[in-house]
Structure 1
Amino acid sequence: MKKQLTIILFLSLNMFGFSQSGTVKGIIKDSNNSSLFGVNVSVKNTTKGKQTNENGAFEISNFQSGHYVLAISYLGFKSKEIPFKVNSSETIDLGTIILYEGNELLEEVVIDTERKNKFSRKQSAYVSKMPLKNIENSQVYNTITNQLLISQSVNTFEDALKNAAGITKLWSSTGRSGDGAGYYSSRGFAVQPQLVNGVAGITNGFINPSNVERVEVIKGPSGTLFGSAVTSYGGLINIITKKPYSGTGGEITLAGGSYDFSKLNADVNVSANDKLSLRFNAGFQQEHSFQDAGLKKSVFVAPSISYKVNNNLALNFSYEASGNEQTNETFLFLNRYDTLAFNSIEELNYDTNLSFTSNDVTIENITQNYRGEVAWKLSDQWSSQTLISGGLAKSQGYYTYLWNGSDVFFSLYAQDTDARTKTLNLQQNFTGAFKIGDLQNKLLVGVDYLNYNIIDNSSNWGYLHTINLDGDLVLGEPEINEENLSNALSGLGYVDSDIRQNIFGAYISDVINILPSLSVMGSVRYDRFDYQGDRKTNADDETEFTESTFSPKFGIVFQPILNELSVFANYQNGFSYVNPQYITDFNTGEISLQAFDVEQANQFEAGVKTNLFNSKLEATLSYYNINVDNKYYWATKTQDLEINSQGIELEVNANPIDGLNIHSGFSYNDSEITKSPSATFLEGNRYGESGPEITYNFWADYKFFKNFGIGAGFNGQTEYDTMVGYKEVTGSFFIPGYTIFNASAYYENDTFRISIKGNNLTDETYFSGWSTVTPQQKRVLLGTFTYKF
C-alpha cells in the first residue's frame, strides 16, 4: 500500500510539473530591425515577467494551459499587447515583434532585475519631445536616475544635482518671491529647476526628492523646443516625478540623522484593474542647521492617476502640493559698488557656526503643480499628446539678507513677503514616423501657450541692524525677532505689483535617417511675447509690449558602430525676453518705460557618445562654444554685452563587473565677457554667474553576497572669484575649491533595505556663492530603513 501511494504521488507531481511547463518566447526589434535590450515583457493578471536580453530575446516559462495576454512596453515606444494560448509542455514562439516609437505613456516604471548598468537611463521622450535614443540624439543631457538617488540616500535636491557633470550650486533656495528656487551654473550661465515632467512647473522653495523618479539636465541653449521661460543659455533642469504603473505595491521609508534630521515617506501604487492605476506618495522631512540657528521643514502629497481607456488612448493626471518652512540661510552679500575690505575666506575671518538669524523668523512656501495628459495613439506611426499643466507658488513670511555696506560690517535688511506666482501651460504635440522615399522621418509638430503671472504685495525693504562677523552689534536693534522686524518695516509701504506675461509658441522638428548610421535633425520655433507690465502701480502708463523671435536648431549624428558608438554635432539657439525697464534721462530728468530686443544665444557643439559592451559602458564627451551677442546688463540697463562660454564635459556610467556600478562626470568651462561698451571694465572678465572653471563627481556602488553593498565617492570644484563681474570696482573675492568625500553601506532584499550614509566625511569647511558667501553642510551621518511591499 505504501509503495502504491508513493507511485501515485510521484505521478501526480510529474503531471503537475508538466502542466506548468508551457513556455512563450520571442524577439523584440524596432522598425529599423534593431534588437531592443531591456524591454519589459509581462503577462497580464499574473506576476510573470522578463526583460529582453542584448539580442532582444525573451522567454517566460511555467504556464498552466490556458489563454494569456502578453504586455510589452519600452520607454519611448508604443506599448503592445499580444494574446496567446499555451498548452502543457508546449513552447509558443511569437517570432519577431516590432515596436514602433512614440511618446511615454503609462509604462514608465522599469523592471530592474536584469538591468546591469543601473545608473544609466539614456532614453527619454522629454529631451527631444520625441522618442530618441541617447546615442542617436545630437544633444547632450545627463540623467540622474532613481537608483543613483537611492544608492546615495539623497534627501535634498541639491545633493541630487551634484551628480550632473558641470552643474554647480550658486545659491540655495531662498523661498523669496519670483525666483525663490535654487540657482545653479551650467555651461557658464545660471539656471533654475523650472521644468516638471517636460512642461513649466514652479519649484520655489524646497524640492522633496522622495517624489522624484529621475532628473534630466539638458545641456546648452534649448529654446527651440522649450522656449525661454524655463531655460537658460546653459541648459535646463527637468524633474520627472513618480507615476502610476500596472501592479500593486509600494514602500515606506524612515530616516534619521545628524542635526535632528528626520524623514517619513509613504509611496503606494494600486491597480484596480488592467486599465486603472493609482499612486499616492506623501512625506514629511525636517532638519536643523549645523549653525547656531536655522531649520527646514517640508511636507508634500502627490497623488497621480492613469487610466488606459484602450490600447490607443491613455489619460494621465498628476498633482503635487508641498508646504515648506525655513529660516533664511546665511547669505553674506558682498558690496558690488565699493572696494572690499577682504579678498578671501581667510581675510573675511567668518566663524561659520554663526547664522545671524533666529528660528523664530521664517519664510513659508506653499507650492502646487498639476499636469493632465491625453496620450492618443492615432496609428502605428502617429501619436498625439495633449497637455494642460499649471502651478501656484506662495511666499509668505520674513525674508532677510546681510549686505556688506562698508569695511567689515554687514547690515541686515528685511522684507515681509507676501507674493504668489501662477502659471498655466497648454501644449499640443503630434509625433510621427514615416518614410519619404528611402528616408525614414521622425517628425514633431507642436504648439505651446504659457501664461505667467506674478502678484507681489510684499512690504518695501527695511533696515534692522548692523553687525560684525563675530555677531557684535554696531548699530540698530540687537535682536532678530518678529516684533523688531515688524517695527523696522512699519510705514514703509508695499510693492503692490501685478505683472503678467503671455507666450505663444509653435515648433516643428524632423529627424531624418539618411542611412541607418547617419541622421540629421532640423528644428525651428516661433515665439510671440505679450508683456502686460505692472497692472497696479503703473495704471497711468499701462502699456502692452509685444516681441517675437525665431529659434532654429540643427544636428547631425553618425554611428560608426550602430547603436554602440556615435559622433555628433549640433547648432542650438536660446533666447530670452527682457522685461521692459524704467530708464531715466539724466538730461531732462524724464523717466520712461523702455523695451529691449530679445536676447539670443547660439551654441556649436561636437562630441562622441558610446553604448558599448551590451550597455555596460555609456559615456558622452563633448566640446561646446556658446556666444551671446546682445546680453542685457542690469547695472547700466543697456543691452550691449557680448559673452563667450566654451568648455568640455564628460559623463561616464559603467558596469565593469557584475554588482559594480559607477557614475562620474567632469567639466571645464572658460567664460569671458568679450565686449561691454557701457562698462568697459567688464571686458576680459569671467561672466559673473559662471561659477568655477572645473567641477567633478564620482560615485561607485558595489553589491556583493547578493544582499550586501557599499558605496563611496566624491564631488568637488576648483577655486573661483565670486566677484568676477565687479572686481574692477570691488576687487576679487575667492571661493575656495574643495573635494567632499561620501560613503555608504547597505543591506537589501525583496522586503526591506537598510542603509547608513556619511556625507562630508572629512568635515570640510566649504562655501558657495554668486557675489555672496554661504557656508555649506558639515559632516552628516544618516540612517535609512525602507520596507517594500
Structure 2
Amino acid sequence: MKKILSLLTFQLLALAALAQTGNLTGSIKDANETPILGANISINNTSYGTQTDSNGYFSINNIEEGNYILKISYIGFKTKELPLTITSNETLKLENLVLYEGNEILNEIVIEGERRNKFSRKQTAYVSKLPLKDLENTQVYSTVTNEILESQIVTNFDDALKNATGVEQLWTSTGRGGDGAGYYSLRGFSVQPQLVNGLPGLTNGTINPANIERIEVLKGPSATLFGNAVSSYGGLINVVTKKPYIGTGGQLSYTTGSYGFNQIVGDFNTALSKEDNLYFRLNTAYTNQQSFQDAGFSKSFFVAPSLSYKVNNRLSFSFYGEITQAEQTNPVFLFLNRNAPSDASNLEELGYNNKLSFTSNDITLENPTQNYRVEMDYKLSDSWKSQTLVSRSNTSTKGYYTYLYDYGILGNNTFSRYINKQNANTQTTDIQQNFIGDFKIANLRNRMVIGLDYFNETQTDNSTGYAFYGNVQVDGTSNGDNPFTADVEEDIYPLSTSALDAALASQGVSNIKSKYNIYSMYVSDVLDITNNLSAMVGLRLDHFDTEGDVSDSSDDYDQTTLSPKFGVVYQPIKDKLSVFGNYQNSFTNVAPQLVGDPEAGPQTLETYNPEQANQIEFGVKTNLFNNRLNATISYYDIKVTDRLITDPSSIFNKIQGGEVTSKGFEVEINANPIKGLNIRAGFSNNDSETTKSDNTEILNKRPLEAGPETLYNFWANYEFQEGSLSGFGVGLGFNGASERFAINYASTGDFILPSYTIANASIFYTANKYRIGLKVNNAFNKEYYKGWTTITPQTPRSVLANISYNF
C-alpha cells in the first residue's frame, strides 16, 4: 500500500509540473508556399529553440507558461518576430507562417546551425540584385563557401578561387599601379576581382581571405546589372564579406607552414546596444610569408570593421570597411618575345631554374588599400523597399617594379631586365539607389529592381619611365650588355635600392591624372507566368563621360550604350529541377589608354569605340534529395565585336576591330550523400578563337587570355559523426588544367605550358570550441607553370598547420 501511495504521489507531482508548461508547433513557408528547411526558431531571452524540417514544420515542447516573443530567421529572408502566449497544458499551433525574401546584407544569420550541404549556398541577394533562389535565376554562378575555405585551410585568395568551376589564374598579383591585382580566365576572357558585396571594391594587391564569407563567380556577360567597370565578358567575381550577427562571439586562429608562412586571424562580434539593435563585428589578420625561390616575401596587416543598426522595422543602416597595409617583392615574370620566335618553344628547351627569383628582398612594392561601404534600407510598403548604397575605394602603389623581357637579340634564352619606380593611386566612388519590389499585376507575381548608378574613377600616375638594368639567363647567369647598343658592355647591375635609384635618375617622371564618370539606369523584372515558369527581362542605359588626361581637353569624349538581358526558367519539378536559357549582354566603353613605347618618348592617350559582347546559354539546375545534390550543367556561346586587343608587336599598344568567339560547357556538383560527407566537383571546357582581326598575328588563334581549354576541380571532406572518432575528419582533392599557350602568334610560333594535376589532402579534428587541422598542398610536389605571354612557376609541395579557437 505504501508503494502504491508513493507512486500515485509521484505521478500527481509530475502532472502538476506538466500542467505548468505548454507546447508550440507550427510550419514555415515562403511567399511561393514552399516549405523552408532549416529555418531558425527561437524564443527570445530563453534557451528554447529548434529548426524546421524538410516540410517546414517545427515543434517545441514543455515551455513554461507565460508571454514570449517568437523569432523566426533564415538566410536571405526577413526576420519575423511574433508575440505569443503559452498556456499550461495546451498546444499553440502557428500554421503557415510566411517568411518574405529580404535584404541579405542586414539580415544574414551567420550561425545557421547544421546546414545539410555545406559546400553549397544558393541563396543570395547580390547576383540578380533581387533575393532569388538559384533555381529561379537564369544566370549561372559558382559559390565558394566559407566552409570550403575552412576545410582546405585556405590562406590566400588564389587558392580560394581554385574551387570555382571554370576559373584559372593567368598571373598572380604584381602590385603595380592600376591593374596590380591578380588576373583570372573565365569563359575565355580575363577578369580581376573588383566587386565586394555587389559594389566596386578595388585593390592593386590581393584580397585577404580573413573577411570572406563566400565568393560568388557570376558567369557570362553581366553588364546589364553591374556595368562594365567591374566585370568582363566572361563574368565577374564578387566577394561577400562577413557581417555582424545577433549575439556575441568570435574566433582566434593561427596558421603556420612551409616557406616561412605565419598568419594570425581574429574575428569578434558583439552588441554595442541590444536595445537599439546595434551590432559590431571586427575581422583582422596579419600575414607574413617568404618565397620558395631564392628571394621574395609578402607581408600584410588587414582590419575590417563592420556595423549594423536597425532603427526600427522600416529603417536600417550598415557600414563595412576594409583597410590593408601590404608590402611585397613583385613576382618577376618571364615575358616572352611577341615579335619573333624565342630560342625555346617549351620548358624543356628553356632550361628554366625556377628556384631563381631574379630579384632581391630589397626591391619591394607597398600596396595600401581602403574600401568603405555604407547602406541604408527603408521599407516603403509591404511591396517596395528603398536601398541606398555608397562605396569608396582608394588603392596605391609605391616602390620598385621590374620585369624580364626576351627581345631575342642576345640569344641563349637571355632576358633583359627593366625597372621603374611606381607612384600611382586609384580612387573610385560608386553611388547606387535601388527600388526593390515584390508585387502582383493581374495575379502574376513580379520581382523587380529599378536602379540608378553613378561611378567615378580617378587615376594619378607619378611613376618614372622604364630603364634597362642588365640581362639574365634562366640558368642564373647574368651580363650587362644592352641589346640596343652596338658595343658589348660588361656593366654590373646590383639589386639594391640605391643602385636602382641611380639608374632611374635619368628617367622622366610621369605627371598624369585621368578620370571618367559613368551614369547608369537599369531595370530588371522576374515575372512568374505560372507557378513553374518565369521570365527575366532587364535593360541598362549607360552614359560614359571621360576627361582622359585632365590637363588635356582634346581627349575628352562620351559614349552612350544600351545593354539588354533576357532569360526563361521552367521548373518541371518545383524547387527541385529547373531548365533555363538566357541572352546576356555586356559592353566596354573603353577608357582612353596610354599607348606608345615609353622608351621611345612620352606616351599618348588613345580613344576607342565601345566593345560589345552577346551570350546565348542554356542548361539545367537541380536541388534534389532535400538539398543533398545541387548540380548545374550549362552550354554557352559568346561573341565579342570591336574587340580591343594588345598589339603583339608591342605590349604598350592596342588594336581595335577584332571579333572573338568563346563557347563551351560547364558542370558543377555539390553533394552531401551521407551525413558528414561533402563533395564539390567542377569541369569546364572552353573553345575560344579570334575570328576577325586586322592583325594577322592572332587571326584564327586562341586568345592568350582564354587560358587552358579544360579545367577541373574536386574536393571531398568527411567528418566522423559518432563513436571514438567523432570530430575527426579528412579531406582529399585535386585540381588541374590542360596545356595552354603562353605565346601563339603567327610570327613567334607557339610556346606551350604543359598540363597539370595537383593533389591536396588534409586531416583535422573539430571539438566544441576549437579546431586543429593539417593540410598538404601539391602533395606530389608537381612542377607546373601558369602564364599569359609569361612564364610563372607555381609553389611546390607545402604544408600548413592550423589551430582555431571559438568563443
Shared fold (TM-score, shorter chain, > 0.5): yes
Paired amino acid for 2:478: L
Which residue does 1:608 correspond to in 2?
Answer: 620
Deviation at 1:208, TM superposition (A): 1.1
Superposed, 1:405-444 pairs within 5 Å as: 405-406=407-408, 407=411, 408-444=413-449
Which residue does 2:743 correspond to in 1?
Answer: 723
Residues 99-139 of structure 1: per-residue CA shift (max 9 Å, x gap) = 22233242213444331100000111100000110001000
Deviation at 1:19, TM superposition (A): 7.5
Q: Is 2:552 the partner of 1:572?
A: no
**CA contact 2:369–2:394 (8 Å) conserved in 1:** yes
**CA contact 1:135–1:563 (8 Å) conserved in 2:** yes
Paired amino acid for 2:434: N
Deviation at 1:286, TM superposition (A): 1.1
Paired amino acid for 1:426: I
Deviation at 1:357, TM superposition (A): 1.0
Find the aligned partners of 1:591 and 1:183 in 2 and give their Cα distance: 24
Deviation at 1:760, TM superposition (A): 0.5
Q: Which moved more, 1:36-45 or 1:679-688?
A: 36-45
Residues 588-635 of structure 1: per-residue CA shift (max 9 Å, x gap) = x99986532211000000000000001100000000000001102332
**CA contact 1:102–1:383 (8 Å) conserved in 2:** no
Q: Is 2:667 the partner of 1:650?
A: yes
The change in CA–CA distance for 1:638 and 1:291 in structure 2 (over 3 A counts) is closer
Q: Which moved more, 1:144-153 or 1:633-642?
A: 633-642
**CA contact 1:404–1:410 (8 Å) conserved in 2:** yes
Find the aligned partners of 2:17 and 2:776 in 1 and give their Cα distance: 50
Find the aligned partners of 1:403 and 1:161 in 2 and give their Cα distance: 29
**CA contact 2:353–2:476 (8 Å) conserved in 1:** no
Residues 297-356 of structure 1: per-residue CA shift (max 9 Å, x gap) = 111111111011112221110111011111111311111122211111111111111111
Q: Is 2:331 the partner of 1:316?
A: no
Deviation at 1:582, TM superposition (A): 7.2
Residues 677-722 of structure 1: per-residue CA shift (max 9 Å, x gap) = x212322100120000000000001111331111110000000111
Which residue does 1:708 correspond to in 2?
Answer: 728
Q: Which moved more, 1:731-740 or 1:617-626?
A: 731-740
**CA contact 1:464–1:484 (8 Å) conserved in 2:** no
Find the aligned partners of 2:164 and 2:456 in 1 and give their Cα distance: 30
Find the aligned partners of 1:7 and 1:306 in 2 and give their Cα distance: 56
Which residue does 2:502 correspond to in 1?
Answer: 487
Deviation at 1:479, TM superposition (A): 2.0
Return 5+ residue gaps in structure 1 as ranges: none
Which residue does 2:492 correspond to in 1?
Answer: 477
The change in CA–CA distance for 1:22 and 1:709 in structure 2 (over 3 A counts) is farther
Residues 216-253 of structure 1: per-residue CA shift (max 9 Å, x gap) = 00000000000000000000000011100001111100
Which residue does 2:364 correspond to in 1?
Answer: 362
The change in CA–CA distance for 1:481 and 1:22 in structure 2 (over 3 A counts) is farther
Deviation at 1:89, TM superposition (A): 4.1
Deviation at 1:749, TM superposition (A): 1.9
Q: Is 2:534 the partner of 1:533?
A: no
Q: Is 2:305 the partner of 1:303?
A: yes
SS in 1 for 2:382: coil
Find the aligned partners of 1:13 and 1:473 in 2 and give their Cα distance: 93
Q: Which moved more, 1:142-151 or 1:377-386?
A: 377-386
**CA contact 1:606–1:624 (8 Å) conserved in 2:** yes
**CA contact 2:637–2:664 (8 Å) conserved in 1:** yes
The change in CA–CA distance for 1:62 and 1:392 in structure 2 (over 3 A counts) is farther
Find the aligned partners of 1:9 and 1:753 in 2 and give their Cα distance: 49
Q: Is 2:465 the partner of 1:449?
A: no
The change in CA–CA distance for 1:13 and 1:709 in structure 2 (over 3 A counts) is farther
User: How many residues end up aligned between the 2 structures?
Assistant: 778
Deviation at 1:204, TM superposition (A): 2.0
Q: Which moved more, 1:88-97 or 1:336-345?
A: 88-97
Superposed, 1:91-102 pairs within 5 Å as: 91-102=91-102
Find the aligned partners of 1:506 and 1:233 in 2 and give their Cα distance: 20
**CA contact 2:479–2:492 (8 Å) conserved in 1:** no
Paired amino acid for 2:74: Y
Which residue does 2:483 correspond to in 1?
Answer: none
Which residue does 1:157 correspond to in 2?
Answer: 157
Given the alignment, which residue of 734, 741, 753 partners 1:735? Answer: 753
Find the aligned partners of 2:364 and 2:9 in 1 and give their Cα distance: 73
Find the aligned partners of 1:190 and 1:591 in 2 and give their Cα distance: 25
Q: Is 2:759 the partner of 1:747?
A: no
Which residue does 1:181 correspond to in 2?
Answer: 181
Paired amino acid for 2:353: D
**CA contact 1:40–1:110 (8 Å) conserved in 2:** no
**CA contact 1:120–1:143 (8 Å) conserved in 2:** yes
**CA contact 1:330–1:775 (8 Å) conserved in 2:** no
Which residue does 2:486 correspond to in 1?
Answer: none
When the two structures are superposed, what TM-score results if normalisation uses the length of structure 1? Answer: 0.95
Find the aligned partners of 1:365 and 1:583 in 2 and give their Cα distance: 25
Deviation at 1:665, TM superposition (A): 0.5
Deviation at 1:11, TM superposition (A): 8.3
Q: Is 2:515 the partner of 1:500?
A: yes
Find the aligned partners of 2:236 and 2:258 in 1 and give their Cα distance: 32
**Percent identity, aligned pairs only?**
51
Which residue does 1:783 correspond to in 2?
Answer: 801
Which residue does 1:696 correspond to in 2?
Answer: 712
Find the aligned partners of 1:97 and 1:395 in 2 and give their Cα distance: 54
Q: Is 2:676 the partner of 1:659?
A: yes
Paired amino acid for 2:419: A
Find the aligned partners of 2:496 and 2:525 in 1 and give their Cα distance: 58
**CA contact 1:443–1:510 (8 Å) conserved in 2:** yes
Which residue does 1:138 correspond to in 2?
Answer: 138
SS in 2 for 1:483: helix
The change in CA–CA distance for 1:210 and 1:630 in structure 2 (over 3 A counts) is same
Q: Is 2:243 the partner of 1:243?
A: yes
Given the alignment, which residue of 616, 634, 641 partners 2:658? Answer: 641
**CA contact 1:372–1:389 (8 Å) conserved in 2:** yes
Find the aligned partners of 2:119 and 2:624 in 1 and give their Cα distance: 15
Which residue does 1:196 correspond to in 2?
Answer: 196
Q: Which moved more, 1:62-71 or 1:17-26?
A: 17-26
Find the aligned partners of 2:97 and 2:105 in 1 and give their Cα distance: 19
**CA contact 2:36–2:56 (8 Å) conserved in 1:** yes
Which residue does 2:115 correspond to in 1?
Answer: 115
Deviation at 1:88, TM superposition (A): 4.1
**CA contact 1:257–1:782 (8 Å) conserved in 2:** yes
**CA contact 1:103–1:383 (8 Å) conserved in 2:** no
Find the aligned partners of 2:88 and 2:417 in 1 and give their Cα distance: 80
Superposed, 1:208-247 pairs within 5 Å as: 208-247=208-247
Q: Is 2:524 the partner of 1:522?
A: no
Residues 30-51 of structure 1: per-residue CA shift (max 9 Å, x gap) = 2221112222333333454333
Deviation at 1:583, TM superposition (A): 8.4
The change in CA–CA distance for 1:207 and 1:593 in structure 2 (over 3 A counts) is closer
Paired amino acid for 1:685: K
**CA contact 1:756–1:784 (8 Å) conserved in 2:** yes
Paired amino acid for 1:414: I
Superposed, 1:262-277 pairs within 5 Å as: 262-271=262-271, 272-273=273-274, 275-277=277-279
Which residue does 2:562 correspond to in 1?
Answer: 550
Residues 262-288 of structure 1: per-residue CA shift (max 9 Å, x gap) = 111110100231511110111101111
**CA contact 1:206–1:324 (8 Å) conserved in 2:** no
Which residue does 1:280 correspond to in 2?
Answer: 282
Find the aligned partners of 2:132 and 2:602 in 1 and give their Cα distance: 54
**CA contact 2:76–2:107 (8 Å) conserved in 1:** no
What value does the CA root-mean-square deviation take over the aligned residues? Answer: 2.3
Residues 437-465 of structure 1: per-residue CA shift (max 9 Å, x gap) = 13111111000000101111111111211
Paired amino acid for 2:274: N
Paired amino acid for 1:568: F
**CA contact 2:71–2:81 (8 Å) conserved in 1:** yes
Which residue does 2:487 correspond to in 1?
Answer: none
**CA contact 2:40–2:112 (8 Å) conserved in 1:** no
SS in 2 for 1:680: coil
When the two structures are superposed, what TM-score results if normalisation uses the length of structure 2? Answer: 0.93
Paired amino acid for 2:666: E
Find the aligned partners of 2:322 and 2:213 in 1 and give their Cα distance: 14
